[in-house]
Copies of this chain bind each other. A is one copy, B any other.
Amino acid sequence: MPILIPIDDPDDPRIAAYRDVRERDLVGRDGHFIAEGAVVVRSLVMASGHRARSLLLADKRVTALEPLLAKLPADTPVYAAGQAVLDRIVGFPLHRGILALGERAPQPSAADLLAAMPARARVVMLFGIGNHDNLGGIYRNAAAFGADGVILDSGCCDPLYRKAIRVSVGATLLVPTARLTAGEDPLALLDALGFEGVALSPSGAETLARMVPPPRAALLFGSEGPGLPPALLARARSVRIPMAGDFDSLNVATTSGIVLHHCAADQDAPR
């Protein structure tokens, strides 16, 4: 178990990375990220690639958090401060009482991520999801339904942004992730690696409930307003979720949950 390092001065240089968390969220952290709350920090400690570089927590939480601290490498610095000092460091009342500074794992290429997946696999592929709540919600569903990975296009926001991690309940730290490079053709990539793309769209040709997922399925989602890029949609197998009357609107994270549940239930069904 790491040794606790007491912090009494909010300006202590050892905890500089935790200062003014919200302002730093906007600027970025150059290969690092902040995980917030015990559940999320536990995901970071369990994650295979990312690494907890240090922790900062409230004195009064230490006893309750001991089982978690015991899982850390013994040389991980764990800083402990009184609540008032903690709040001054981070710049807002830190009710959750625990933060970790994470170091990003190197990301595989989309091709490498797909190639490493089993013969029956489901990957979520996202286009232009720029909202951290939606991105976090999609990852939460991907983890809940055992998706093998998530691939992001260049228009998606950062899954390791503090709010996205929190909304995902830590899933963005656990689900294998890759990002398409500029100009990479997602459907050609899927085809080369034996995946079939299934594009979700209100104008999809098949209904989801009758869709038998391919063995290696890539489930494609676009952002709520514009949806998937038309050029992509025109070339992919497309699926819709029928809706009532003229209320033609589902949240994209909810949509991903419905689709992933359908695919998981199909995989569990007897053949």
Which residues in A have some Cβ–Cβ distance to B below 8 Å? 137, 140-141, 143-146, 169, 171, 174, 207-209, 241-245, 247-251, 253-255, 257-258, 261, 264-265, 268-269
Contact = CB atoms under 8 A, between A and B. Distances in A.
Contacts of A251: 137, 140, 253, 257
Contacts of A257: 250-251, 254-255, 257-258
Contacts of A255: 257
Nearest to A143: B247
Contacts of A269: 209
Copies of the chain in the assembly: 2
Contact of A268 (B137, B242, B253, B258): B242
Contact of A258 (B247, B249, B258): B258
B264 A261 contact: no
A140 B242 contact: no
26 contacts: A137-B251, A137-B254, A140-B249, A140-B250, A141-B250, A143-B247, A144-B244, A144-B247, A145-B244, A146-B244, A146-B245, A169-B249, A174-B247, A207-B265, A208-B265, A209-B261, A209-B265, A242-B264, A242-B265, A250-B257, A251-B253, A251-B257, A255-B257, A257-B257, A258-B258, A258-B261
Nearest to A261: B258
A262 to B, nearest CB: 8
B145 A243 contact: yes
